[in-house]
Structure 1
Amino acid sequence: MNKDYELVLLAAGHGRRMRASKNKILLPLLNKPLIEYPLNVFLKDDYCSHIILVVKEDEVELIHDLLRQEHMFSKKKITIAIGGMERQHSVYNGLQKLKNKTSGIVMIHDGARPFIEQTDIRQLYDEVQKIGAAILGVPAKDTIKAVYPDHTVKVTLPRSELWQIQTPQAFESSLVLQAHEKARTDHFLGTDDASLVERIEKEIRVIEGSYDNIKITTPEDMVAGEAILLHREQQSK
């Protein structure tokens, strides 16, 4: 039976590789702050009942001003949480704000991925209800090699088995909270939330997403992002 989900939307990154004077999620992408794109997608989703926006402590007022300016507070319940030193800590802080920690569903999404589409969210939403853990990804296009610290090749990995994992990642709320609590106890720092769930031996289903769902990390990604938006605008005409 379908039920609503909550969203933890991460917007507390430092974005050092962007070489910008402010948080990259506030940078303009075709004259709109980057964070507005994913926010608007989830605000339009009827199954998304609550958004937890995780931000840097010194940017709370900036985010409040943005939300008020765009009248986003009036569209859906948005709660602000304060980020931590690492992405994993920020997710944990966001999860503490969940309304339903025992029997709910939560999606976790990077605010720097502005091009997530409703069709992919719906696929995740359907799958997480069946299996309890589902993530987005795309098959790797390039050959991937494991490399030693001195930059010599260790081994070429089988490309047919490799996927580039994206967000959102969707979980039963109790499951991902359990995984985060264990990681904290073990002092384990993972690269994504699925890596924490893997450690408690829970099966995770990978749903094929879109290559457009890029993460804005460097100035070059902003150029690619503008191209994606312009292409979408042309397709919608």
Structure 2
Amino acid sequence: MEKNCAIILAGGKGTRMGKKINKLFLKIKDRPLLSYTLEAFQKNKYIDTIILVSAREELEYCKSEIVLRYSFDKVKKIVCGGNTRQQSVLNGLNATDKCDIVLIHDGARPFVSQKIINDGVKYANLYGACACGVRPKDTIKVKNDDGFSESTLDRNKLFCVQTPQSFKRNVIINSHRSVMNKNIPVTDDTMTAEIYGYDVFLYEGSYTNIKITTPEDLFLGEKILDNFNCLDV
């Protein structure tokens, strides 16, 4: 039985990148961004299988130019995403019928460490739902409608959530199906579990586990690769 499954979301358009192609196919040091993300999970000893969620028109490209070209044999299925991230996650979950733990990860976070993945599996087994993240470095203000500072939040109680977000399969698939049936919009998977009544454990991620969103992030990504091999951490 394949116990631990990673769902990699690769169907976003990435309009803020300002490119005509999916940002995940852009290259960092002569390799597609998505290949780094998949390799991190391919190499992890606790991940048994990977489900890749792609836009319908990019399914064949993902298969030939990413999965087969880089020999990612843990990728067992490439499924079509939906119109929203929420629907894409549910499509991926519906393809995971033989696993205990599911890790949901943004394809645009290529610098996820092995420790973060390992901890996601560990804490999902312990608590049923967990996510990695970091404390904000900046002071966070609440701004009112007139543009003035309304209050200052306690930075020690704030947490910038990243992915992977990891769950026992029954926890997250039931949560997603429930919120979809009730037409409740959610911004991430921990919110889905919380709405359904589950407590989510938050554990330490990394400031290098960035999401590639803008052209500036590509330059930062190159610097990250120059300074450490994120796939072996």
Smaller-chain TM-score bracket: over 0.9
Report the alpha carbon displacement of residue 226 of structure 1 after superposing the two structures with TM: 0.7
Report the alpha carbon displacement of residue 77 of structure 1 after superposing the two structures with TM: 4.2
Report the alpha carbon displacement of residue 149 of structure 1 after superposing the two structures with TM: 4.1
CA–CA distance in 2 between the matches of 1:186 and 1:156?
34
Contact 1:50 1:77 survives alignment (8 Å): yes
Report the alpha carbon displacement of residue 107 of structure 1 after superposing the two structures with TM: 0.3
Q: How does 1:141-180 map to 2 (within 5 A)?
A: 141-180=137-176
Q: Is there any run of 5+ residues in structure 2 with no aligned partner, and where? A: none
Contact 1:100 1:173 survives alignment (8 Å): no
CA–CA distance in 1 between the matches of 2:50 and 2:147?
42
Q: Normalising by structure 1, what TM-score?
A: 0.92
Paired letter, 1:200: Y
Report the alpha carbon displacement of residue 124 of structure 1 after superposing the two structures with TM: 1.5
Report the alpha carbon displacement of residue 164 of structure 1 after superposing the two structures with TM: 0.5
Of all paired residues, the percent bearing the same amino acid is 38
Query: Helix, strand or coil: the match of 2:5?
Result: strand
Question: 2:184 matched to which residue of 1?
Answer: 188
Report the alpha carbon displacement of residue 76 of structure 1 after superposing the two structures with TM: 2.0
RMSD: 1.5
Q: Normalising by structure 2, what TM-score?
A: 0.93
Contact 2:105 2:164 survives alignment (8 Å): yes
CA–CA distance in 1 between the matches of 2:145 and 2:178?
30
Contact 1:49 1:77 survives alignment (8 Å): no
Question: 2:6 matched to which residue of 1?
Answer: 7
Question: 1:96 matched to which residue of 2?
Answer: 94
Question: 2:54 matched to which residue of 1?
Answer: 55
Report the alpha carbon displacement of residue 99 of structure 1 after superposing the two structures with TM: 2.4
Report the alpha carbon displacement of residue 23 of structure 1 after superposing the two structures with TM: 0.2
Question: 1:85 matched to which residue of 2?
Answer: 83
Report the alpha carbon displacement of residue 29 of structure 1 after superposing the two structures with TM: 0.8
Question: 1:221 matched to which residue of 2?
Answer: 217
CA–CA distance in 2 between the matches of 1:28 and 1:171?
31
Q: Is there any run of 5+ residues in structure 1 with no aligned partner, and where? A: none
Report the alpha carbon displacement of residue 154 of structure 1 after superposing the two structures with TM: 2.8
Question: 1:70 matched to which residue of 2?
Answer: 70
Contact 2:56 2:80 survives alignment (8 Å): yes
CA–CA distance in 1 between the matches of 2:189 and 2:147?
28
1:87-135 Cα offsets, whole Å, 9 max, x none, are: 111101111100236xx11000000000000011111211111111111
